[in-house]
C-alpha cells in the first residue's frame, strides 16, 4: 500500500473527527479524497501537525482529534511524542503514515527506512496504546474500534505519492473554516 491508499481508508470512516494533516502531498491527497471544513491542512510548519493536534485535543476534550502525520515530519519533532504521551489526552489519535521517505520532496529515504523504529520510540515516550498496521484492509476496522484514549497508530506503507493537484484554498481560508467548525457548539 501507498500513503494514498491508507488515507483513502481513513476517510471512509471519518465522521465527527477533526483532522490535522501533515504538510505537503499528504494534505493534497486528503483534500482530493475528502475535503471538509473539519480538515486542517497544515502548511508551512513541517513537524508541527502533532503539536497542533495536541493543542486542539486539550482545548476541547469532548471532540475527537485525529492527526495524520508522516515519518519524516515526526522525526523533526520527536519531543512532541513525549509531550503527548505525558499529557495523555483521551481524545487524540496520532496516525503516522510511515513510508520511509520524504515524500513531498522527492522520496529521499528517512531513517525509518534504515534503523529507526517509531513504534519503539512511541513506547519509550510513554504511549500505552500503540498499534502497527501493515495491511490496508486493517485500517478502518482498527481505527473504528480504538475508542477513547491517546493512541499511536503506525501505518507502514511503501514510498510514493498520488498525482494530485494543489489545494485551491489560501492558508487563512483553511484556518478560518476549520476554526469555525471547531468552535461550533
Ligand atoms: Mg514519509
pLDDT of residue 87: 98
84-94 per-position pLDDT tens digit: 999 999 999 99
Whether 85 and 126 have beta carbons less than 8 Å apart is answered as yes
107-159 per-position pLDDT tens digit: 999 999 999 999 999 999 999 999 999 999 999 999 999 999 999 999 999 99
Report, as an integer, the average pLDDT of 165-173: 96
Q: What is the number of domains present in the chain?
A: 1
| Distance between Cα 108 and ligand 1 center (Å) | 9
CATH of the domain at 174: 3.40.50.970
| Distance between Cα 141 and ligand 1 center (Å) | 23
CA dihedral over 161, 50, 18, 154, signed as positive or negative = positive
Q: Is residue 78 part of a domain?
A: yes
Q: Is residue 157 part of a domain?
A: yes
Does 175 have pLDDT greater than 80? yes
Report, as an integer, the average pLDDT of 44-70: 97
| Distance between Cα 23 and ligand 1 center (Å) | 11
What cell was used for 11? 476517510
- DSSP tag of 11: H
39 vs 30: CA distance, rounded Å: 8
Name the more confident of 96 and 43: 96
The parent domain of residue 96 ranges over: 3-180
| Distance between Cα 70 and ligand 1 center (Å) | 5
| Distance between Cα 99 and ligand 1 center (Å) | 5
Q: Is residue 185 part of a domain?
A: no
User: pLDDT band at 52, cuts 50/70/90?
Assistant: very high
| Distance between Cα 4 and ligand 1 center (Å) | 12
Does 166 have pLDDT greater than 70? yes
User: What DSSP string runs through 76-99?
Assistant: HTTHHHHHHHHH--TEEEEEEEE-
80 vs 143: CA distance, rounded Å: 21
| Distance between Cα 151 and ligand 1 center (Å) | 19
128 vs 149: CA distance, rounded Å: 9
pLDDT of residue 185: 65
Q: Is residue 26 part of a domain?
A: yes
User: What DSSP string runs through 47-71?
Assistant: T-HHHHHHHHHHH-TTS-EEEEEEH
% of the chain exceeding 70 in pLDDT: 99
Q: Give me the phi and psi of 168, to 5 degrees please.
A: -85, 40
Place of cell 498499534: 131
- How distant, in Å, are the alpha carbons of 118, 132, 153 from that of 138? 19, 10, 12
User: pLDDT band at 44, cuts 50/70/90?
Assistant: confident
Q: Give me the phi and psi of 70, to 5 degrees please.
A: -115, 165
| Distance between Cα 15 and ligand 1 center (Å) | 25
Amino acid at each position: 500500500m501507498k500513503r494514498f491508499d491508507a488515507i483513502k481508508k481513513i476517510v471512509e470512516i471519518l465522521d465527527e473527527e477533526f483532522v490535522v494533516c501533515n504538510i505537503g502531498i499528504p494534505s493534497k491527497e486528503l483534500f482530493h479524497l475528502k475535503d471538509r471544513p473539519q480538515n486542517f491542512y497544515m502548511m508551512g510548519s513541517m513537524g508541527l501537525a502533532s503539536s497542533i493536534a495536541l493543542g486542539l485535543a486539550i482545548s476541547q476534550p469532548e471532540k475527537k482529534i485525529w492527526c495524520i502525520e508522516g515519518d519524516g515530519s515526526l522525526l523533526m519533532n520527536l519531543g512532541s511524542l513525549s509531550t503527548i504521551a505525558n499529557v495523555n489526552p483521551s481524545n487524540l489519535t496520532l496516525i503516522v503514515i510511515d513510508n520511509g521517505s520524504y515524500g513531498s520532496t522527492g522520496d529521499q529515504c528517512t531513517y525509518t527506512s534504515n534503523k529507526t523504529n517509531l513504534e519503539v520510540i512511541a513506547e519509550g515516550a510513554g504511549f500505552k496504546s500503540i498499534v502497527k498496521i501493515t495491511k490496508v484492509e486493517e485500517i478502518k476496522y482498527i481505527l473504528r474500534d480504538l475508542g477513547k484514549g491517546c493512541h499511536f497508530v503506525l501505518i507502514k506503507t511503501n514510498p510514493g505519492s498520488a498525482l494530485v493537484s494543489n489545494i485551491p484554498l489560501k492558508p487563512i481560508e483553511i484556518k478560518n473554516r476549520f476554526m469555525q467548525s471547531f468552535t461550533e457548539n
